[in-house]
Structure 1
Amino acid sequence: MPLILVVDDQPTNIHALYQLLVDECEVSMATSGAEALAYCAQQLPDLILLDVLMPEMSGYEVCDRLKADPRTRGIPVIFVTVQGSASDEAEGFAHGAVDYIPKPFVDVVVKARVRTQLALKLASESFARSQIELFQRDKLASVGRTISGIAQELSSPLGNALISACTLQDDLAQLRVISQGGNIKRSDLEKHLRVSEESVGLVLSNLQRTLSIVDSFLQSTADNFGDQRRSFSLLELIHEVVASLAPALEAHQVRCELDAGDDLHLLSFRGALAKVLTTLIQNAVKHAYREAGGEVHLRVRPLGTDQLVVTVQDHGVGIPPGMLGRVFDPFFSTRFGMNRSEPGLYIVRNLVTFALGGQIQVESTPGVGTTVRLTLPLISPEARRAAG
């Protein structure tokens, strides 16, 4: 049986949810955020029903801490709270929840949404496991991790869209019953219109997020930039990239310093390299300096006669050692609660490795900064074969 953790500071609410779910699930209880986190440190539930308004530690903070821990970030969280406005729901989703149930809750709604999230989690885990096992046999475990990341990221917005569509369907059915009675009130009509507008809005926003995720993955190959191998000046490309990022650099008061020496010409994929440099500078601007102000250093040096090294360095907060090994995972971020629809360094590694024929390394020390080092051929492997 799936294990559900119910977290609420009111025993009556815990008892009501326990009685509602105990026939289908194993239900554990916690009466505070600290107690819930301690429980998850010992045992991982399949789903958490979490109150928002609790003393000492709110449900939002509990959810943030769960999502910040690699061991617990995959546990789906449903907020159950008296705060039921559209803005409250948006706040809940921003903290990483998969659903939002207002109090006083309707039994059939709670059961339906719990079943939906448990089914989505089971399907995602089953798909990820099967893919990982398959690719491990073929020595392609990294591809398995990528598919698992895609499945996990897509399951949340698609699940939210499905729930919102079901809510809209149920509400329209109720409206039809009322209208057939021929005694519909203006207040009833306005209520149903409000539910419809909110449900459609949630469907659209979640589908837009899904499309953004898919689009980001499509950008992980040079072909999807309409890119062709050609000769170009590296200095011209760098100046174009920095100029395009000028508004963001100015807004965050970050200076971009270039140390390039003599210009180098490449026979490679210009669009792919532009995407790589843009993403690396954007990462430094967004994540290295939590407060406004700082520097990003770009350094270019030849390596032998047929390679070059590009380093992008900041002096910001750095990456904790425990997270450094995961920087190339899809959707990984050191800042939780932010928009995670960009795969980030996952795309950079794909472009550097498969399109540009190079290598990428990341070094970081907390409180000192982060250095990303690209080693690239002056002629891409595909171009070299064509030339030879």
Structure 2
Amino acid sequence: MIVKWQSSIRVKLASIVFLTGVVLIAIIYWVYIPALEKSLREERTSTLSSVVHSAVSVMDYYERGIREARWRSDPDFPRSRREAKQKILDYLRHLEFAESKQIFILNIEGEAVLYPAFPHMEGRSLMEGRGDAEAEFPFEMILNAALKEEETLLEYDWVAKWSQETKETHWSYSELFYPWGWIVSANISAQDINDHIFNVGSKLLANLLMILLVGLILAYCFVVKLTNPITRLSRQVQNITEFLAAGASVNIDVHAKDEVGALASAFRKTVQRLSTVMSTLKNKQESLQTTMNSIGDGLVSVDLHGCIQLYNPVAAKLNGWTGQSVRNEKIDDVMVLHDLNDETQIGIIQFIELMQGEEGSITHEARLEPKEGESYIVLVTLSPILALDENNQGMVVVIRDITRRKQQEQRLAELNEALKQHKAELEERVEQRTVALSQSIDDLKETQQQLVATEKMASLGRLVAGVSHEINTPIGVGVTAISHMQEIFKQFHKACQEGRLSKSYLNSYLEDTEEGLKLVMTNLQRASSLVQSFKQVSVDQSVDNHRTFDIKEYVEEIVASLKPNLKKGCHTLAIHCPEGLTLYSNPGALAQIVTNLVMNSVLHGFDDRTGGEISISIFDDGGDIVLDYRDNGRGMPPTIAERIFDPFFTTKLGQGGSGLGMHIVYNLVNVTLEGQIHCESYEGVGTKFLIAIPRLEPEVVA
């Protein structure tokens, strides 16, 4: 066996050295050859471009010299372009720069100007090939590429005429000399590169094979020297297990000072440690059993065949094993498990077979039937016992009693079912109350509409009351004046009958009559104006019609109807509006807005105060009519100002306030007039309302 092991390791080491050499040779060969090919290709193409650039540079030199008449100072310099061309052709015709390299010149018509390889083709078109030449060259491709770009490098396949399968790769570098219309081209075959690479590669391969042969010989000598001490060491350690089991000592007498000596020393220490480990292992087995006995769950350890190796008292109690030993018994024979769903028996051994080579655990709920007493509901967990090589050595079965938990889960399920029924009843009640609430909201909206209408009628009533108070004064004055005129008329009539008329009496009568008539006319005109204003405002408030009206006059008519409310508290109202400012809109809405704002200031802003001041400024803001309403009342805190437009919000609840006045103003501005309203108020300073009313064209509303 030692000889076999020795031969095996020597063969392996020699094989490793051989394969390493082969790999290195392959790497060197396949890395060096492509790099060499690339370098040679770049060198050859650089040579082509240098030759072509040199020729074109000479042409350019002659061309510029002819234009500058350089022949005057240099007699040998060509005097014409024709002489310069001939001189260039003579120079290039004898130019040889490599064995397989060719240079030729074409003109832009595709005719050969210079073709040293085939002189008889000069002056002939090369577009159809080279005629009687040995192969076909793509002159047309070279010509077209040079005409598109002044310098171009092409790669093409050279095709022999006698065989279409005989191809060679060629590179051609061309440059167009535009003044002469010449295309200077030089080409090279890839065959000379391949030949050079073949020669270099052959020499390299031969040298590498020689190096590999020498390396194999040296490697074999090294392997023989290395394996001799290892062979001696292997003879001494092959029976360590038997010696340790018999209690005998093992002596390793290899004392080399190299790695093998270190290995022998490590073996000696390992033998000592093995003896210690075997003693410790026995102690740990006893400790493991003690640990299993202290665990609250049942633990059973079985081998790969399903035979019980270890178990703790909890497992014995659950299965009814108390007072007997079940070690080495088949676990399926002494532990009876049934599935909770279909009551079929569950076999532990089948899970052991299924989990061969697998990691992880399997958990399953089952009913445990002990030999005596009531059954248990248990949670069984099967976990494989893995060795260091990750192969299964057996199975650990953990048994946890979950009978009480299952009873609690059942109770919880019953409670959840009762909760679902209660939830359904609540949803039904909520639906019924939602329907009732929806009906209440509809009733509330209807009531709100009625209250808004009532508020409008109340506003109109206040307007009627104010106008009535205003009309009462001029009509009373008129009645008094008529009564006075009737009295002086009776006196005049009596004087006429008694013949007591005089010129002075007649003049006095006429003056009193004229003064009375003026007084009656003035007061009747005032009453007529008030009635007309009331008529227009009341009609506008009761009918939602659009018309064009003078803003200043209309606001003055509205304010005139509100003067009785202002006079009670000695309040003043100033209107600032340019003359002739008109608006096409809903005047009734504007009247309602102004009325509600003034009444809000009187009732809430001034409250019990007297001498309040109200200012209404109206101006055109470039498309919108802006109404700036201000009073110097007591103002409002922010908590009230931000809710002033809410319906049914009032600070006079129970004192005559409905909470709809400013809500109506908000709706009239935003909905009826399609405008915007903004409120600013500061306690002790006053309140400001800024209203923007858009201008409308008559045809937009019609």
Q: Verify same fold: TM over 0.5.
A: no
Scaled by the length of structure 1, the TM-score of the pair is 0.43
Instruction: Report 1 or 2 for greater relative contact order, CA contacts < 8 Å, sequence distance ≥ 6.
Output: 1
Scaled by the length of structure 2, the TM-score of the pair is 0.25
In terms of Rg, which structure is larger?
A: 2
